[in-house]
């Protein structure tokens, strides 16, 4: 799903205010970026923003309010971009290399949005990004570009476009973290519909791990974890041939 939104007057006002007054409203030097994953049509996807008049894409992100926790800021920004409230969101690393945004330090980005940053403006300073990864249900998310971008859309992690700053590196780190977490957290719950077949679950694992798994081994391992509940088949035409449906048991969170 792609939503195109042209800049409205209110967007330009928001931008002007961010440049002029943001230093008093937000923590300086600090931004939050989120790698928002979903699972759709058998593929692991990530939500990216297309920046106005720039060739690169960017992760959904934002700044931390003076009176707001860093994790809170990440939840707020995720809700603004997807319309989703309670979702799995966890840190995957803080990116603070000296030159991570290049010599330009984001000036080009703001120029492309119609804002020239005055010398000494807080947005020209160096930024450190606290990065998160989120798992959302593809069908429930409603991507919103916000005033920084013209487009907010899903991209397959295996075919990423050119990314701004160190955002490609952040996505790789989020993928690694997701792989590691698969083994001990029940991450499927947000990425799959409420009920699913064993085959759908296997395809999710394969998409995350980036390799194929043996069907019999996978089923044995998953059932052995004791986290799945098998539903009774409905009576009716052909139900005896349909695959079993499963759902996750009540999760500890």
Interface residues toward a second copy, by CB under 8 A: 27-30, 64, 66-72, 91, 93-98, 126, 128, 130, 180, 184
In sequence order, which ranges of 26-99 are alpha helices (DSSP H)?
Answer: 70-82
Least distance to a second copy, CB of residue 97, Å: 5
- DSSP string for 14-32: HHHHHHHHHHHHEEEEEEE
Answer whether 77's CB lies under 8 Å from 188's CB. Answer: no
Least distance to a second copy, CB of residue 11, Å: 27
The 10 Å Cβ neighbour count of residue 95 is 20
Least distance to a second copy, CB of residue 180, Å: 7
Q: Which stretches of the chain are assigned E, i.e. beta strand?
A: 3-4, 26-40, 43-51, 57-58, 61-65, 88-95, 128-135, 149-156, 196-197, 228-230, 245-248
Nearer to a second copy, 166 or 196 (CB): 166
Nearer to a second copy, 40 or 126 (CB): 126
Least distance to a second copy, CB of residue 69, Å: 5
Distance CA 196, CA 248 (A): 9
Distance CA 139, CA 23 (A): 37
Nearer to a second copy, 179 or 233 (CB): 179
Least distance to a second copy, CB of residue 227, Å: 18
């Amino acid at each position: 799903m792609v939503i195109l939104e042209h800049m409205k007057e209110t967007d330009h006002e928001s931008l002007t205010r961010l440049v002029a007054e943001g230093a008093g409203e937000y923590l300086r030097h600090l931004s939050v970026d989120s790698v928002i994953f979903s699972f759709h049509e058998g593929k692991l996807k990530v939500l990216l923003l297309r920046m106005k008049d720039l060739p690169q894409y960017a992760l959904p992100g934002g700044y931390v309010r003076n009176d707001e926790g860093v994790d809170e800021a990440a939840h707020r920004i995720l809700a603004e971009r997807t319309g989703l409230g309670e979702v799995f969101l966890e840190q995957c690393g803080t990116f603070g290399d000296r030159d991570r945004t290049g010599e330009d330090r984001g000036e080009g980005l703001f120029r492309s949005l119609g804002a020239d940053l005055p010398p000494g403006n807080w947005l020209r300073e160096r930024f450190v990004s606290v990065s998160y990864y989120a798992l959302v249900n593809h069908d429930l998310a409603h991507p919103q570009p916000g005033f920084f971008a013209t487009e907010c859309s899903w991209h397959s992690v295996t075919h990423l476009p050119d990314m701004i700053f160190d955002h490609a590196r952040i996505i790789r780190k989020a993928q690694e973290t997701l792989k590691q977490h698969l083994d001990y957290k029940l991450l499927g719950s947000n990425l799959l519909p409420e009920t699913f077949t064993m085959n759908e679950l296997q395809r999710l694992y394969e998409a995350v791990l980036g390799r194929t798994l043996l069907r019999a081994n996978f089923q044995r391992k998953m059932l052995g974890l004791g986290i799945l509940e098998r539903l009774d088949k409905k009576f009716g035409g052909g139900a005896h041939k349909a695959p079993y449906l499963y759902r996750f048991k009540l999760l500890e969170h």
